[in-house]
A and B are shown apart, each in its own frame.
Chain A
Amino acid sequence: MWANLGIRKKMLLLFFLISTVPLVAINLIWLRSSQDQLEAAAANRQSILLSSMVQRINDALDIKINSVVTASQDASITNLVIDTSKVRLLQFAGQDDDIIRVSLVDNEGDEKVVIEEGSLVDELKNIRASEEFRVVTFVSNEPYLGGVNRTGGLPIIKISVPLLSLGELGDQDLTSSQSLSRRFGGDISGALIVDVDLTKIWSSVADVQLGDDGYAYLVDRFGNLLVHPDDSFMDNHDSLQEVDEVKEALEVLQSFNLNSVAASFEPTPTVTTSEAGVTVLSSSYPIAQTQWALIGQEPVSSVYRVVNRATAIASLIFIISVPLAMGLVLLATRTIISPVHQLTRGVLRLSAGDFSGHFKVKGKDEISLLAQTFNSMGDNLRSLLERLNKKNIDLESEQTKLQAVLDTIADGVLVLDQNFSIVLANKTVASFVDQADPKALYGINWLEAFSLYYEEDDFRNELLNGELLRFSDVTMRVDDQQKFMDITALHLQNDPNGIAFILTIQDTTQRRELENMKLDFVSMAAHELRTPLTAISGYLNLISSSEMSPDEYRSFVKLASTNANMLEGLINNMLSLSRIERGVLVLNRTKLDWSKVIADEVKSLSITATEKQIDISLDMPEDDLHVWGDEVALREVLGNLINNAIHYSDEGKPIVVRAKIEGENVLTTVSDKGIGVPDKLHDKLFNKYYRAKGGLTTNSQGTGIGLFISKSIVEAHEGTIGFDSVFGQGSDFHFSIAAYNKDKHRQDDGDNDNISLRGKVDWFKKNTDS
């Protein structure tokens, strides 16, 4: 529970306990001891004052009694000589103001002399029945002190002394009552009764000051109030029997009577309720000879006044200062709490990942130390975070690099884990499953994602059992097409990074297609070559075996020759292709009379044209049409285009060959009214091995390489080739090559060389210094 309290509450509680509890304890202890001290002081005070008061009262009473006794011992009084007694008694009465009345009575109780207020009183009574007479004369022969009477407001006590005949008197001390009693046996002649005013004694009692508010009063053995400093109290109260204080005093009186060792009397002050109803510390002193009790008291409150006052002040101070102090404690705890709160907030920020803040460190206490520690922790975390971030960035960039490297590889690269899940893949692999981003494949099971035409279990088993495996021609469906893949798989055992398989997947579909095309081409080429060959041997056979006319003979020879040319052309084509493929097509460029070249080529193809009754016309407006090019190669191009035109035209459809200058180039166009080229084949036409459907024919069109070769040659001349065609109506195949420019075009051979021999012989130059 303590642990759950906040620091403030803890501090307050602690403060409370530490400050108030001891204070209160001290206070109580001090209070107690002070009280005891004060009590003791009060008791002491009472003891001193009251005992001296009692002494005075006793002494005063003794004096009065002695004076009466002395007076009673006068011979005339003893002998009741009236006249002399009167004188003596008048004297006696006049000596003491306190003597109110003197009465001399004989042993019958008749008053013989009465003096009141200093003068004789004539009225004489018999007082035989009175107590004072009876006790003195009949009972004890000792002086008798009667009760106090308040006749006319004065406290009167009757002192009766027996008149003893002198017979037994002697030299003994007569002042002692005791000795008087020992002299019992003498005749009593009467008594001397003196009314004494106790007012003086009473005043002295009433004057007793005990402490600040303490006083004394006197009660008789019945608890009747004799004297009290408060007159009004006296008027209203007579009997104080019921008063606790008085009861206790009477008990003391009684017990004192029993013990009657005056000297050893030790009063015991007790706390009791006084006659005024006040709680007082009171002690009572018995006055044995009169059976009075002198009660002295001090109100407890005044006994303890000093202490109480101090306590009150202390309490006041306490009441003021404790809240004040608590307030200060609260303020002070704030210096602890608010940094703690700050720290808490700061640490919350830290734990949320914000390492940027710094605690202001004030002072050097534990909290400051803590704040400093947090600061350095925050710094450490910040730098750690930076390092981690940097590492992360590096890692990412490494990954990106890796991915980039992988993506540059044309073959598919795939890295799998034990479960055949994809760990790493490149773009090529992604394209096999129609994904743009290889990362989308990560985590996917390869065998499930790729639609391979291969028994999955067999594949799995083979992969798991092998180390380096090659799978050829694994078919796979990509984009709704069937593709062929060569897969090489490396099986890693116990790779720490969890890599199990590294696969390279090569899409061999195109290669196969190309190979197929090549094979097709080869067989087609062979076939193409064989055809004219067959014709040649056929003709030769005829010539050698049959009878024929010279015309027939000549015609067959020509036909054979034409076929031989054609064969040669085919072979040249293939060689050109080979050269183009190997990149060693060498052009021997010269200034060519283009119109002548065209005319020659058209002528050489005229036979083929006439067979189909196709008319080839020339349209060359410019006279001086020269190009810069390789004659043999360009003739091949022309031959190819014109042959195509012938082949794809129906009988009778004319062909036009046009050539004109366009800027720095010469544009040549071969136009036909043939079947044209369908739109969808436009892109493929110039591709290698492309054969337009049209069945097997006797020119290089059949091998599909003609246009490809033409394109290559034209482009080797830095020219362009193209066509326009409308399917069903005809085509215009055109190409553009550089016109001869004598400034730009220099040829090694001299201009004087025989044109017809060009390309056929190398003339070695003489060593000239030009």
Chain B
Amino acid sequence: MTGSKKILIVEDYADIATIYSFMLKKNGYDVQIAKDGKEALKQVLEFKPDVILLDIMIPDIDGIKVLKTIRNSPDYKDVQPLILVTSNVLQQDISDQAALYGADGYVVKAKVENQELLTIVEELIKKGRQDTPRKSGEET
């Protein structure tokens, strides 16, 4: 089930990044961490991840902007990873925005245990990209 899928974790909170990274690596994924939006975009082009765990609250260019850029900018049209938008709190408008701008899912970190996140990533990979962005991107 887990090929060498590449996952880019865009997260400025080091501990979360460390935890997710360890967990995902432990499960055979190739993981990179980007601490801010700029680095995230760079990594998208360089690392070419299959999945991005994109936190909304990141410094520099924020998560939504990164999402928009990836989905809409011509520079990124060749790389269209699966994007899971994450945030610390449940906010409907973030969810709406994520859906609107082409994310594939939305996760509230606090609600999700590590194991559950793993499952979600697997599911995401399994589902693959849908052509039309889903209205409700929240998955639990």
Q: Which residues of A line the B interface, CB within 8 A? A: 523, 527, 530-532, 534-535, 537-539, 541-542, 545-548, 552, 556, 559, 563, 611, 694-696, 698
Contact A542 B115 (CB under 8 A): no
Cβ-based interface call for B76 (8 A) = no
Q: In whole angstroms, what is the CA distance A538 to B88 when docked?
A: 14
Q: In whole angstroms, what is the CA distance A606 to B45 when docked?
A: 34
Contact A611 B114 (CB under 8 A): no
Interface centre among A552, A563, A698 (most CB of B within 10 A): A698
Residue on A nearest B22 in the bound complex, by CB: A542
Contact A541 B88 (CB under 8 A): no
Contact A538 B114 (CB under 8 A): yes
Contact A695 B15 (CB under 8 A): no
Q: In whole angstroms, what is the CA distance A546 to B26 when docked?
A: 8
Residues from chain B with Cβ under 8 Å of A541 in the complex: 19, 113-115
Q: How far is the CB of B3 from chain A (nearest CB, A)?
A: 21
Residues from chain A with Cβ under 8 Å of B57 in the complex: 695-696
- Interface of chain B residues 54 through 111 with chain A (CB within 8 A): 57-59, 62, 88-89, 109-110
Asked, given contacts A527-B88, A698-B13, whether A534 binds B18 with beta carbons under 8 Å apart, the answer is: no
Asked, given contacts A542-B114, A546-B23, whether A530 binds B88 with beta carbons under 8 Å apart, the answer is: yes
Asked, given contacts A542-B23, A546-B26, whether A611 binds B15 with beta carbons under 8 Å apart, the answer is: no
> Which of A545, A546, A611 meets B14, CB within 8 Å?
A611
Residues from chain B with Cβ under 8 Å of A552 in the complex: 22
Q: How far is the CB of A596 from chain B (nearest CB, A)?
A: 29
Residue on B nearest A535 in the bound complex, by CB: B15
- Interface of chain B residues 12 through 55 with chain A (CB within 8 A): 13-16, 18-20, 22-23, 26
Interface centre among B14, B15, B23, B115 (most CB of A within 10 A): B15
Q: How far is the CB of A409 from chain B (nearest CB, A)?
A: 42
Contact B115 A546 (CB under 8 A): no
Residues from chain B with Cβ under 8 Å of A527 in the complex: 88-89
Residues from chain B with Cβ under 8 Å of A539 in the complex: 15, 19
Residues from chain B with Cβ under 8 Å of A532 in the complex: 15
Q: In whole angstroms, what is the CA distance A530 to B113 when docked?
A: 14
Can you list 12 A-B contacts (CB < 8 A)? Answer: A523-B89, A527-B89, A532-B15, A535-B16, A538-B19, A539-B15, A541-B19, A541-B113, A556-B22, A563-B15, A695-B59, A695-B62
Contact A545 B19 (CB under 8 A): no
Contact A538 B110 (CB under 8 A): no
Residues from chain A with Cβ under 8 Å of B23 in the complex: 542, 546
Q: How far is the CB of B33 from chain A (nearest CB, A)?
A: 12
Contact B16 A538 (CB under 8 A): yes
Asked, given contacts A530-B88, A538-B114, whether A559 binds B18 with beta carbons under 8 Å apart, the answer is: yes
Q: In whole angstroms, what is the CA distance A370 to B15 when docked?
A: 110
Residues from chain A with Cβ under 8 Å of B20 in the complex: 538
Residues from chain B with Cβ under 8 Å of A694 in the complex: 59
Residue on B nearest A694 in the bound complex, by CB: B59
Interface centre among B19, B23, B26, B110 (most CB of A within 10 A): B19
Interface centre among A527, A530, A542 (most CB of B within 10 A): A542
Residues from chain B with Cβ under 8 Å of A534 in the complex: 15-16, 88, 109-110
Q: In whole angstroms, what is the CA distance A699 to B14 when docked?
A: 13
> Which of B19, B109, B110 meets A542, CB within 8 Å?
B19
Residue on A nearest B26 in the bound complex, by CB: A546
Q: In whole angstroms, what is the CA distance A696 to B63 when docked?
A: 13
Residues from chain B with Cβ under 8 Å of A546 in the complex: 22-23, 26
Q: How far is the CB of B13 from chain A (nearest CB, A)?
A: 6
